[in-house]
């Protein structure tokens, strides 16, 4: 997924001189190819995220297409107000890449971990939020954000070396089923957890789907959910404000008959306790594949 | 015909808006009146028929609290109807009490402080890049910031960026009226010496009398002339909060005070001299 991100950035920069990439002094190797192919279009804005968002807004106002890169712990969390006032109000076409979302930086500790980015951004009027699961989803939403943006877009990039959930580009930028076993239980994943959902669905002969676009919410998803008795929403994000919240809100309001029972499989309301691998960090929240599989088995 | 952008005309319009709208922040607007008057009279390139003209220079009001001075100028230029002045703050009216980017003539949403200068910096970079392709001289960006606003760290981030990237088409004007919302700057979070600080951050910095059209004009003349050193410019405009109305000058309670009929009449008389 990271190689795909690097090549997409380079491809769009080379093909359009109006594309400008700004980084808050992060993502060293990610930008090797674009720095070589289009050196003038890459700007390291320094460890100065607030200023960087304003500068991206100014560039967008003069007709440029900024791609702004940072770690999700800082972009969007540190610069929420800049996203709201500098970008959202004027619907500026700026692509925000929030890397390392969830517990990716497990060994660096809580300052670099981020389970609240989607929740923080969802109420921002006019923003689009993607949470791709693999290189295919990444390509789909990156292209959408760069070619037909309706305002700022946030692309949440979490643990990126998991097994892909697709074998080709998905048909749309919203959601897609990744396993159909005619089960009455659906595992609904997003980002890194789409791979987990697929693996467990395969093991337990359940259905799974991957949600790529969290905002604006894919309306068709709700009618699909009515076919299920139980839906487990799995995300490397806190329960408040993420995919579970989105699905619950939409489902409540939809008034569909025979609405499924929803379960949240998400980060606990706590910070990292000890240091360790990504899998270890997930285990503190009960979110390793084995833990989730066990939980689901006990509930179906 | 050139619009009447004289300081007294602008101050009179600000007083009318504040009185009709029963609103505050009058002194924040009064301290930038000569700056706004000078820029729109002589130095900014704009289209009186189209505030969003592609060829325009940018004036970014980073200290959104001074917005009534700009509304007054926009009315005189023809971008805002008389109704906008008379119905200020009435239900369903166009103009808010701080700068909003969708208003014709305003470029950014500010008032939450520390936003305008970073955006102005990005615009200046965009203009420089555009100019490098077209071979023309870059369009210019002027950014009015408050001295209290300079408390915000994002301002200093933008300054570092502007000087590192040699944005010599950017001029920052500090409305140095010596006050912030709750008192004197020197008592709250001292910011001086501004000139030395801007210089240390790579700016070509000067100070001048911010109520003298002549002094401001001399400095703006340099901003619109060819750059000689590749540096962004800073003009520390020494101003008086509430300038033009004797009972408001340097009385910070007027940051929050509304005009009654008697004070409105007195104030109008003072700015009509």
Can you give the pLDDT at residue A258?
85
- B126 min Cα distance to partner chain A (Å): 5
- A61 neighbourhood in chain B, CB within 8 Å: 107, 119, 122-123, 126
- Contact assignment for A50 to B122 by CB distance below 8 Å: no
Measure CB to CB from residue A45 to each of B114, B124, B161 and give the nearest one: B161
Rounded to whole angstroms, the Cα distance separating A136 from A164 reads 8
- B115 neighbourhood in chain A, CB within 8 Å: 54, 82, 85-86
Q: Report the residue of A22, A40, A55, A91 to disrupt the B interface, i.e. the one with the largest count of B CBs within 10 Å.
A: A55
Can you give the pLDDT at residue A160?
86
Q: Report the residue of B126, B143, B172 to disrupt the A interface, i.e. the one with the largest count of A CBs within 10 Å.
A: B126
Measure CB to CB from residue B157 to each of A17, A48, A59 and give the nearest one: A48
- Contact assignment for B107 to A61 by CB distance below 8 Å: yes
**Residue B44, number of CB atoms within 10 A of its CB:** 18
Rounded to whole angstroms, the Cα distance separating B37 from A27 reads 46
CA nearest B124 in A: which residue? A58
- B/e letters for A248-268, b = 16+ CB within 10 Å, e = fewer, are eebbeeeeeeebbebbbbbbe
- Contact assignment for B119 to A64 by CB distance below 8 Å: no
- A57 neighbourhood in chain B, CB within 8 Å: 108, 118-119, 122
- A60 neighbourhood in chain B, CB within 8 Å: 122
Measure CB to CB from residue B115 to each of A52, A59, A86 and give the nearest one: A86
- Contact assignment for A90 to B109 by CB distance below 8 Å: yes
Q: Report the residue of B101, B102, B118 to disrupt the A interface, i.e. the one with the largest count of A CBs within 10 Å.
A: B118
DSSP A88: I
ipTM associated with this complex: 0.95
Phi and psi, residue B169, nearest 5°: -95, 10
Q: Packing angle between helix B116-134 and helix B153-164, nearest 10 degrees?
A: 20
- Contact assignment for A55 to B118 by CB distance below 8 Å: yes
- B112 neighbourhood in chain A, CB within 8 Å: 81, 85
Can you give the pLDDT at residue A272?
92
Please name every residue paired with A21 in a beta bridge, in sequence order, or none if there are none. Answer: A42, A67
Enter the tokens of residue B105. Answer: 């003539």
- Sheet with B141-146, side-by-side order of all strands: B58-61, B141-146, B170-176, B233-238, B204-209
Cis peptide before B193 (omega within 30 of 0): yes
**Residue A277, number of CB atoms within 10 A of its CB:** 11
- Contact assignment for A90 to B119 by CB distance below 8 Å: no
For chain A, 300 residues long, the average pLDDT of each consecutive 10-residue run is: 96 98 94 96 97 98 98 97 98 98 96 97 98 98 96 95 96 97 98 98 98 96 95 98 98 92 97 95 97 97
- Contact assignment for B126 to A63 by CB distance below 8 Å: yes
For chain B, 273 residues long, the average pLDDT of each consecutive 10-residue run is: 95 98 95 98 97 97 97 98 96 96 96 97 98 94 98 98 98 97 96 98 98 98 91 98 96 93 97 91
Chain A interface, Cβ < 8 Å to B: 17, 20, 45-46, 48, 50-64, 81-82, 85-86, 89-90
Rounded to whole angstroms, the Cα distance separating B272 from B265 reads 11
- A85 neighbourhood in chain B, CB within 8 Å: 109-110, 112, 115
Are A129 and A122 within 8 A, CB to CB? Answer: yes
- B103 neighbourhood in chain A, CB within 8 Å: none
3-state secondary structure string across chain B: CCCCCCHHHHHHHHHHHHHHCCCCCHHHHHCCHHHHHHHHHHHCCCECCECCCCCCCEEEECCHHHHHHHHHHHHHHCCCCHHHHHCCCCCCCCCCCCCCCCCCCCCCCCCCCCCHHHHHHHHHHHHHHHHHHHCCCCCCEEEEEECCHHHCHHHHHHHHHHHHCCCCCEEEEEEECCEECCEEHHHHCCCCCHHHHHHHCCCEEEEEECCCHHHHHHHHHHHHCCCCCCCCEEEEEECCCCCCCCCCCCCHHHHCCCCCHHHHHHHHHHHCC
A96, A131, A128: which is closest to A115 by C-alpha? Answer: A131
- Contact assignment for A89 to B126 by CB distance below 8 Å: no
Please name every residue paired with A155 in a beta bridge, in sequence order, or none if there are none. Answer: A97, A130
Rounded to whole angstroms, the Cα distance separating A47 from A128 reads 25
- B160 neighbourhood in chain A, CB within 8 Å: 46, 48, 51
Measure CB to CB from residue B119 to each of A20, A54, A64 and give the nearest one: A54
- Contact assignment for B115 to A64 by CB distance below 8 Å: no
Can you give the pLDDT at residue B273?
83
Can you give the pLDDT at residue B1?
78
Q: Look at the pTM and tell me if it is higher than 0.90.
A: yes
Beta-carbon contacts below 8 Å between A and B: 94
CA nearest A22 in B: which residue? B122
Rounded to whole angstroms, the Cα distance separating B227 from A33 reads 35
Rounded to whole angstroms, the Cα distance separating B83 from B20 reads 11
Rounded to whole angstroms, the Cα distance separating B123 from A163 reads 42
Specify the residue for token string 């104030």. Answer: B267
- A90 neighbourhood in chain B, CB within 8 Å: 101-102, 109
Specify the residue for token string 């890397």. Answer: A99
Please write the tens of the pLDDT for every residue from A86-138. Answer: 999 999 999 999 999 999 999 999 999 999 999 999 999 999 999 999 999 99
């Amino acid at each position: 997924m990271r190689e795909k991100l690097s090549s997409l950035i380079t491809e769009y920069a080379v093909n359009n001189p109006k594309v400008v990439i700004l980084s808050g002094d992060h993502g060293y190797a990610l930008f090797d190819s674009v720095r070589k192919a289009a050196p003038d279009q890459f700007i390291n804005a320094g460890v100065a995220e607030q200023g960087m968002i304003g500068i991206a807004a100014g560039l967008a106002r003069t007709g440029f297409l900024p791609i702004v890169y940072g770690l999700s712990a800082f972009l969007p969390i540190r610069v929420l107000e800049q996203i709201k006032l500098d970008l959202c109000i004027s619907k500026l076409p700026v692509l925000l890449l929030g890397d390392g979302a969830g517990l990716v930086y497990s060994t660096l500790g809580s300052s670099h971990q981020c389970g609240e980015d989607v929740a923080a951004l969802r109420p921002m009027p006019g923003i689009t939020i993607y949470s791709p699961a693999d290189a295919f989803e990444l390509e789909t939403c990156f292209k959408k954000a760069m070619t037909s943006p309706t305002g700022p877009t946030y692309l949440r990039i979490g643990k990126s070396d998991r097994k892909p959930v697709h074998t080709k580009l998905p048909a749309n930028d919203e959601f897609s089923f990744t396993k159909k076993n005619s089960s009455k239980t659906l595992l609904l994943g997003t980002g890194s957890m789409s791979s987990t959902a697929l693996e467990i669905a395969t093991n337990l002969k359940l259905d799974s789907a991957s949600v790529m676009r969290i905002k604006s919410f894919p309306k068709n998803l709700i009618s699909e959910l009515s076919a299920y008795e139980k839906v487990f929403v799995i995300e490397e994000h806190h329960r408040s404000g993420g995919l579970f919240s989105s699905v619950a809100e939409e489902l409540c309001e939809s008034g569909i008959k025979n609405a499924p029972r929803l379960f949240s499989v998400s980060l606990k309301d706590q910070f990292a306790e000890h240091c360790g691998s990504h899998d270890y960090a997930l285990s503190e929240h009960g979110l390793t594949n084995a833990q989730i599989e066990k939980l689901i088995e006990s509930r179906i | 015909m050139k619009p009447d952008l004289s300081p007294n005309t602008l101050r009179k319009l600000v007083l009318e808006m504040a009185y009709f709208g029963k609103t505050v922040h009058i002194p924040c607007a009064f301290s930038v009146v000569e700056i706004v008057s000078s820029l729109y009279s002589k130095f900014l390139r704009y289209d009186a028929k189209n505030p969003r003209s592609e060829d325009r220079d940018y004036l970014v009001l980073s200290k959104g609290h001074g917005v009534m001075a700009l509304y007054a100028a926009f009315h005189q230029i023809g971008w805002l109807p008389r109704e906008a002045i008379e119905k200020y703050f009435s239900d369903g009216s166009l103009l808010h009490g701080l700068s909003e980017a969708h208003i014709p003539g305003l470029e950014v949403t500010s008032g939450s402080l520390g936003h305008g200068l970073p955006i102005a910096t990005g615009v200046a970079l965009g203009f420089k890049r555009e100019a490098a392709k077209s071979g023309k001289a870059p369009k210019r960006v002027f950014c009015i910031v408050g001295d209290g606003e300079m408390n915000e760290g994002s301002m200093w981030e933008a300054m570092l960026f502007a000087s590192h990237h040699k944005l010599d088409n950017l001029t920052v004007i500090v409305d140095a009226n010596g006050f912030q919302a709750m008192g004197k700057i020197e008592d709250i979070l001292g910011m001086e010496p501004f000139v030395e600080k801007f210089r240390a951050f790579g700016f070509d910095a000067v100070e001048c009398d911010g109520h003298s059209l002549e002094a401001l004009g001399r400095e703006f003349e340099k901003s619109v002339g060819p750059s000689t050193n590749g540096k962004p410019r800073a003009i520390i405009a020494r101003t008086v909060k509430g300038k033009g109305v004797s009972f408001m000058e340097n009385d910070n309670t007027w940051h929050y005070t509304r005009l009654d009929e008697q004070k409105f009449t007195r104030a109008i008389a003072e700015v009509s001299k």
